Chain A
């Protein structure tokens, strides 16, 4: 798992993946329920071999969009192409290439993990090896256990295994870790990261920032049925151009106007009586601040340098509409 944000960001900026054929291509997608537009005209493209994260608060239209891409729902307007076909009319040969982890689905009642996989393997032309798939999702010790006796995290792994058994090219994961404890989420991420190694294309919906940041090559943020931002985890919403906040508390006898000339225009009030510098060249400004403080013989013990997190960017993007639901 050394596929860091930097590497993926660089790859994204380069030409290699930009020219890969789109696996999912959506133009002007609209879905209405009565007079309500759940999806209000979105465009998106997912390229082969990438993990695409669809981020948004509950009720933003994520699941509606994914279920249209999976062929479960009919769209109202727009063009949708998944693996070269329209999901609304695609048949069994198309489903043979697509794996789906639904947001909510319980295990097959009365069947063990291995039996569930054997049942589903029989539905596909070229299924993966059953025991190998069970091992891939980390359920090797539970192969003989009834699906209904598994814990929540283990059930999700069984869902992953069932989505993988047909050896699909494209996998939809709809909020795969909602309701998980932190260690179960981490384990699920490892499984998804493993799918990347297998060369699968993954369409992930989530409302967890850290999940998107850890897994995604590219992110689109959905809010009230519209895409409000798109980019890599590093560039989303202009995050890479946002200023860094340098906050510190000055000794009682000093004030912001005593700062060196180059820093004075950046200074503002920080939380709890502190001073905040909003800097676009944090290293230069930190050096000036440090030289100035050391030259006067004092320290800045509560010095804090803060870059906006993906979560802050996301909340600023969706904040005005996320109370809707």
Chain B
């Protein structure tokens, strides 16, 4: 099973690297947001409130955009590509082979996690080169674990959402319509500290906020200890588990829209 999942993943990754639209939304857009937000708000001396004291705004945005990158790869891109594969009969044809269903899903999840980890490293690298943010040492393990837990959870949520989308053309608009408002109220585009309370409270419900918070904890230089945001990670994982249950019950290998 694992061999087949990795085998498929290497081809899914290759297909991803040849798809301009996925590349733009998954690789280029997070970098673009980092550059724009970092340049707008992250100038010298600009700071943002965080637990343990004020941090450079660019540090804040690096962790926020890392969350965006993970979510774009594991949720946005996964929903678009899995829906397209399903509606074009590609998943159905794969199911006609001996490959186990779990290997098809696990292979796609591995693809998303690989992209998410690479994206996080790229965002960190750009932050270090362009804005002089630090590369974490003590909390590096927590940062990697947070990225992986978040990636897996958003993959589950992505699979759950594909059960509701009947047409591949609506996949991308649907994920963007869900994510863009959440990015604004979850501390990705705008610091939570300047949001009205009620809006911040709405953001608290959703996993985007907790993913961003968990990454901020793991990246914040004031963080003491190993850098695990236990409660945020639990909430993200709980959303992921809910998505997993929906996906297990409702996921279809056959096209829905035809």
Do A and B truly interact?
yes
Contacts of A146 in B (CB 8 A): 18
Contacts of B16 in A (CB 8 A): 110
The answer for the CA separation of A100 and B254 in the assembled complex, in Å, is 14
User: Could you tell me if B7 and A125 are in contact, using CB atoms closer than 8 angstroms?
Assistant: no
User: Could you tell me if B89 and A111 are in contact, using CB atoms closer than 8 angstroms?
Assistant: no
Contacts of A123 in B (CB 8 A): 4, 7, 94, 97-99
The answer for the CA separation of A217 and B90 in the assembled complex, in Å, is 31
User: Could you tell me if B15 and A166 are in contact, using CB atoms closer than 8 angstroms?
Assistant: no
Contacts of B8 in A (CB 8 A): 119, 122
Q: Which residue of B lies closest to A146 (CB)?
A: B18
CB of A47 closer than 8 Å to a CB of B: no
Contacts of B134 in A (CB 8 A): none
User: Could you tell me if A104 and B258 are in contact, using CB atoms closer than 8 angstroms?
Assistant: yes
CB of A180 closer than 8 Å to a CB of B: no
The answer for the CA separation of A56 and B211 in the assembled complex, in Å, is 55
Size class of B's contact patch? 20 to 34
CB of A108 closer than 8 Å to a CB of B: yes
CB of A285 closer than 8 Å to a CB of B: no
Q: Which residue of B lies closest to A94 (CB)?
A: B98
Give the contacting residue for B89; candidates A93, A102, A166; CB below 8 A: A102
B215 → A minimal CB distance (Å): 30
CB of A250 closer than 8 Å to a CB of B: no
What is the interface of chain B, defined by CB distance below 8 A to chain A?
Answer: 4, 7-8, 11, 14-19, 84-85, 88-90, 92-100, 253-255, 258
Q: Which residue of A lies closest to B13 (CB)?
A: A110
Asked whether A120 and B18 contact (CB < 8 A) given A72-B254, A115-B11, the answer is no
Give the contacting residue for B96; candidates A95, A106, A107, A122; CB below 8 A: A95
User: Could you tell me if A125 and B90 are in contact, using CB atoms closer than 8 angstroms?
Assistant: no
CB of A295 closer than 8 Å to a CB of B: no
The answer for the CA separation of A120 and B258 in the assembled complex, in Å, is 25
Contacts of A99 in B (CB 8 A): 96
What is the interface of chain A, defined by CB distance below 8 A to chain B?
Answer: 70, 72, 91-93, 95-96, 98-100, 102, 104-111, 115, 118-120, 122-125, 146, 159, 162-163, 166
User: Could you tell me if B98 and A92 are in contact, using CB atoms closer than 8 angstroms?
Assistant: yes
The answer for the CA separation of A109 and B253 in the assembled complex, in Å, is 17
A58 → B minimal CB distance (Å): 14
User: Could you tell me if B96 and A111 are in contact, using CB atoms closer than 8 angstroms?
Assistant: no
Some 5 contacts from A to B, beta carbons below 8 A apart, are A72-B95, A109-B84, A110-B17, A110-B19, A119-B8
Contacts of A166 in B (CB 8 A): 97-98
A7 → B minimal CB distance (Å): 33
User: Could you tell me if B15 and A98 are in contact, using CB atoms closer than 8 angstroms?
Assistant: no
The answer for the CA separation of A110 and B19 in the assembled complex, in Å, is 7
Asked whether A110 and B18 contact (CB < 8 A) given A123-B99, A124-B97, A166-B98, the answer is yes
User: Could you tell me if A102 and B15 are in contact, using CB atoms closer than 8 angstroms?
Assistant: no
Give the contacting residue for A110; candidates B15, B89, B98; CB below 8 A: B15
What 7 pairs between A and B have smallest CB-CB spacing? A110-B15, A105-B89, A92-B98, A106-B88, A100-B96, A110-B18, A123-B97
Knowing that A70-B96, A105-B89, A110-B18 touch, tell me 12 more A-B residue pairs with CB under 8 angstroms: A72-B95, A95-B98, A102-B89, A105-B90, A106-B89, A108-B11, A110-B14, A110-B15, A115-B11, A119-B7, A125-B98, A146-B18
User: Could you tell me if A162 and B11 are in contact, using CB atoms closer than 8 angstroms?
Assistant: no
Contacts of A96 in B (CB 8 A): 98
